[in-house]
Amino acid sequence: MLAARLAAESGGSVALLERGPRDTDRWIHVPATFFKALKGGNAETVMSLPDTSLDGRPFAVPQGRVLGGGSSVNGMIYMRGQHRDYDDWADAHGCDGWTFADVLPVFMRQERNMRLGAPFHGQAGRLVVADASAPHPVTARIIEAAVAAGLPPTDDFNGARQDGAGWYQVTAHDGQRQSAAHCFLAPEMGRENLTVLTDHLACRVRIENRRAVAVEARTPEGAEIVLHARREIVLTAGTFQSPKLLMLSGIGPADQLLRHGIDTVQDAPGVGANYHDHVGAPVTRRLKGAKGLHGADSGLAALRHGFDYFVLRRGLLTSNLLQGGACADTAGEGRPDVQYNLAPFAAGAPGQPPLPFHALQVHPMTMRPRSRGRIGLASSDPADAPRFEANALADEADLDTLRRGVRLAREICAQAPLADILGEEIWPGPDVSTTVGSNTLDDAIRKQARTIFHPAGTCRMGPDAEAVVDTRLRVNGVEGLRVADCSVMPALTSGNTNAPTMMIADRAADFILSDA
């Protein structure tokens, strides 16, 4: 998105380096096959060190590694977060100019919403946002059950209020994933001033006299190349790779750089700190007398769905599958603190395959986690994965949020709209008590906890000396270098991160163009 705007509006030449391939894999563009895209060469999994908050189990976080990044492999849920999230960026974290009033116009100008309009939505932008297609009857029942459990119905999680249960809006329309690469970059690919280099590994930023002047990279064949920047270099490599690139370039904790033989340009202890992610633990029930999505990708069912999609452009494959959701205030503090994905299928335990039978999940996840981890260097080799300390549930408050989330999920499953289609509870299971003070629930959550694919915070934005970037996304202590991705968030937004990341990129373009 950022490269597209700069190529179209800056008058300068733009080079976009992507570590992964072009987004030509068919599974990327068919909405319902994002699970296949995640398992292919379009993503990689970053594995943490053994996490004591998960009883020594490592925390696995898949990341997009393809043109379009996470927007090319995610579940396509369009969720901006709460108004207060952005007001807190300004009020609690000192990020002036990042209130909800500041960012709403950016969201609106990006968006081409197929149903909703002002005052919260745009209808003239490039990012197509639409209602979920081919709504599944099991998901409809879960939404009805959530309302029966006391949540208000909603038809817009990005409107005046976020709380409620309903159908998500998604970045998929007419059977096509609406990724950042598809919506923003593809229309500009014919420009002579735009060069896109895929399968190129950025190794480090070359810094001379405290100014970023070039990027050292490796071609797909392993050759070393150098791209010189006349104006600026912007890192948009994500929460794991952006801090790694800064450290490989001499910007990071001096003791860690010394340990790996890297000369220190800027001693910046905040680089790699403040890692956090939304963490979930899905309540899972077997279905009886109703079918979910088990087996939909095999045999005659797969042939039927393929015919519907490729010939008639309708049916299951046009769907993002994760169609329903809910946002609930389980702590009684006046704003939702747990998000639920409501799905007619069930993933297995972390690291395990999906369950081999029809099931549903009511999946609670923390919205504003307090636990913090860190990204570091495992070595000075740019090809090596970073050193990752997740500390996923290190703060007791996050465990308590999931306790409340699991209790409400069980209550949703107990409502009348689901009574005649639910069988046994798979997780937490009949032997696990959700009463206050139950150690069996805590143990079960630690075993089941998993990423919601929203890592953030490792190049924190702020006005203070410990921040990695300032409020115009410029790296402190070095000229000509910015970071513009999820890593700059001082605190996670309450919900999915694809929309906020594109908003951050759009604001980065504003800053760069106005500073030119």
Q: Which two tokens stand for residue 123?
A: 């209808």
Q: What is the dihedral of CA 337, 341, 342, 343, to 10 degrees?
A: -160
- Taking a C-beta distance cutoff of 8 angstroms, is the pair 231, 212 a contact? no
Of 217, 205, 208, 213, whose CA–CA distance to 251 is shortest?
Answer: 205
Give which of 283, 261, 264, 268 is closest to 207, Cα–Cα: 264
Cα dihedral sign, 173-85-125-5: negative
Provide the residue type at 104 as one letter.
Answer: L
Strand partners of residue 251:
266
Place of tokens 């952005």: 86
Q: How far apart are CA 43 and CA 35, in angstroms?
A: 11
- Give me the residues paired with residue 475 across strands: 469
> Does the CA dihedral 480-486-492-493 come out positive or negative?
positive
Q: Whole-angstrom Cα distance, residue 161 to residue 156?
A: 8
State how far the Cα of 282 lies from the Cα of 448, in Å rounded to an integer. 8
Residue 297, Cβ density class (10 Å: 0-12 exposed, 13-18 middle, ≥19 buried): middle
How far apart, in whole angstroms, are the C-alpha atoms of residue 326 and residue 415? 15
Q: Find the catalytic residue in 93, 294, 305, 454.
A: 454
Q: Read off the tokens for 121.
A: 């939505």
Three-state SS string over 239-266 comes to HHHHHHHHHHCCEECHHHHHHCCCCCCE
User: 182 catalytic, yes or no?
Assistant: no
Letter for the amino acid at 397?
Answer: A
Q: How far is CA 258 from the centre of its chain?
A: 32
Lookup: tokens for 141: 């029942």
Closest CA to 426 of 332, 494, 346: 346
Residue 504's φ and ψ, nearest 5 degrees, are -60, -40
Instruction: Point out the residues that are catalytic.
Output: 454
